[in-house]
Amino acid sequence: MPAKYKELGCYKDNGNDKNKPRRTIPEMIANFRPQIDWHDMSKTVNECAKHAKEKGYEIFGVQFYGECYSGPTAEIDYERDGKAERGKCWAGVGGPSTNMVYRIE
């Protein structure tokens, strides 16, 4: 059964900045970049949701079009760097240094 989820928004992730302790959503739980279907990005989001749910995480984000992030502190930290302009996320996924964030329902 696929995981149900709700979009929370597009958020910055300045985790590559050496002044930041870690990424806003700390753990890459899967990398779908090699098999991205650019015509149906929902496949990437659905797979990421499935992986997050299997690990027992409630919050997950898709960054750089196919990198799936989650982790035990994601609920607290995903907003740390602020909202990104909507154009930084596309078709349900984040671009570079940007997460489209979701909550498992």
pLDDT digits (tens, 9 = 90+) for 76-103: 999 999 999 979 999 999 999 999 999 9
Question: Cβ distance 4 to 52 under 8 Å?
Answer: no
Compute the CA torsion angle 44, 46, 86, 66 (nearest 10 deg).
-20
Q: What three-state secondary structure class fits 31?
A: strand
Q: What three-state secondary structure class fits 26?
A: coil
The share of the chain scoring above pLDDT 90, in percent, equals: 85
Q: What is the pLDDT of residues 38-84, one digit of tens each?
A: 999 999 999 999 999 999 999 999 999 999 999 999 999 999 999 99
User: Taking the chain, what is the end-to-end CA distance rounded to the nearest angstrom?
Assistant: 13
Domain chopping of the chain, boundaries: 1-62+73-79+100-104
Strand-pairing partners, residue 104, are: 5
**What is this structure's pTM?**
0.93
Q: What three-state secondary structure class fits 62?
A: strand
With a cut of 80, say whether residue 11 has pLDDT above it: yes
Span 16-35, average pLDDT: 86
pLDDT of residue 17: 67
